[in-house]
Amino acid sequence: MIDAQLGGRVGALVRQTAATVVLPSYQHLKASEISEKGPGELVTVADRRSEEALTAGLRELLPGSVVVGEEAYAADPTVLGRIGGAAPSWIVDPIDGTANYAAGRGPFCLMVALVRPEGLAAAWIYDPIDDLMGYAVAGGGAFLNDVRVEPAAPLPPDQVRGVAPATYYPADLRAKVLDGRGSLGEVTGGQHCAGREYLDLVAGRQQFSMFWRTWPWDHAPGALLVREAGGVVRRLNGGEYTVVPDPGQGLLAAIDEPTWQAVSDALIP
């Protein structure tokens, strides 16, 4: 379990970075400040500045730690190997939902996770538009704006709402989702922001999210948040999601075990 003082300082750093770096450029980006780092993968000057600020701040808060950010990985993929080593490692998504942010709309989030040799230790997800902070510490519960999240009673499958964005799904999974979604209450294409999907999951606005691409900066923070709220995060084959090693693609997060099983039966081949 991490020190409560450290947890508060990380949350303050994330909020400060949102206020001083991310929000000032929101809806004010020039075309020259938006580029592609890969096909369909946008990055903005604010992504890079946010990661620089978070990286510097996190290193100062925990001397000897290493930081693995999404933009650092884009520049040097070998940094991924730093996660889970002997030194504590921070995983950073400086702006999750960059396409939304670049288009001048929400949602978008700033996300941080702390990984120690034994696994995920703490997580922060912040939506600056709604001023909503999700925070979790391993073994210490999950919180939304300092209010502890309590598990809700499971819903029957025909009342379950969730996200299955089929953009990156392989053909067999896409076909199963299209065929099986009628047995669930509602299946949407999502908000193009994994962080917000996880916040909505623990807030009870939806009960599951199913993803194909599983970069650690997109899912490590949300995985701990959901688990500490009483939920389940597993690979589509039923194996537990882990940050290190990250063995494959596809994961399903659900607010409880019955929901995970119901959604798995309905949507996974």
Domain count for the chain, please give it.
2
For residue 213, pLDDT beyond 70: yes
Establish whether the linkage from the previous residue to 170 is cis, with ω within 30° of 0: no
Average pLDDT, the chain: 94
Cα–Cα distances (Å) from 183 to 155, 177, 208, 212, 256, in that order, read: 13, 10, 14, 21, 18
CB 253 within 8 A of CB 223: yes
pLDDT in tens, 7-45: 899 999 999 999 999 999 999 999 999 999 888 889 999
Q: Which amino acid is at 18?
A: A
Same domain, yes or no: 184 and 113: no
Share of the chain above pLDDT 90, in %: 88
Is residue 107 domain-shared with residue 136, that is, in the same domain?
yes
Average of pLDDT values for 106-135?
Answer: 97
State whether 136 and 166 are in the same domain. Answer: no
- Give dist(CA 105, CA 101) in Å, integer: 6
> How high is the pLDDT of residue 40?
81
103 phi and psi angles, rounded to 5 deg: -85, 0
In the block, residue with structure tokens 């999951």? 201
94 and 166 both lie in a single domain? no
pLDDT score, position 220: 97
Q: The CATH number of the domain where 258 resides is what? A: 3.40.190.80
What confidence score (pLDDT) does residue 150 get? 93
Average pLDDT score over residue span 240-256: 86
Instruction: Write down which residue in 86, 115, 148 finishes a domain.
Output: 148
pLDDT value of position 164: 96
Query: What's this model's pTM, rounded to 2 decimal places?
Result: 0.96
Closest of 132, 138, 137, 107 to residue 26, by C-alpha = 107
What per-residue confidence (pLDDT) applies to 247? 58
At 168, the pLDDT band (50, 70, 90 cuts) reads confident
One domain for residues 13 and 41:
yes
Query: What proportions of the chain, in percent to the nearest 5, are helix, strand and coil?
Result: 40, 25, 35
Q: Both 72 and 105 in a single domain?
A: yes
The predicted pLDDT at position 166 comes to 80
Task: Indicate if the pLDDT at residue 196 is higher than 70.
Answer: yes
* CATH number of the domain within which 105 lies: 3.30.540.10
User: Residue 130: what residue type?
Assistant: D
Residues 81 and 44 in one domain: yes
- Tokens representing residue 251 in the block: 């994961």
What DSSP designation does 18 have? I
pLDDT value of position 245: 64
Domain that holds residue 8: 4-148
Per-residue pLDDT for 84 more than 90? no
Q: What's the rounded mean pLDDT across residues 192-198?
A: 97
pLDDT at position 178 over 80:
yes
State how far the Cα of 66 lies from the Cα of 76, in Å rounded to an integer: 15
**115 in the same domain as 28:** yes
Pair (209, 258) in one structural domain:
yes
pLDDT over 70 for what percent of the chain?
98
Confidence class of residue 257 from pLDDT cuts 50, 70 and 90? very high
Residue 207 sits in the same domain as residue 142? no
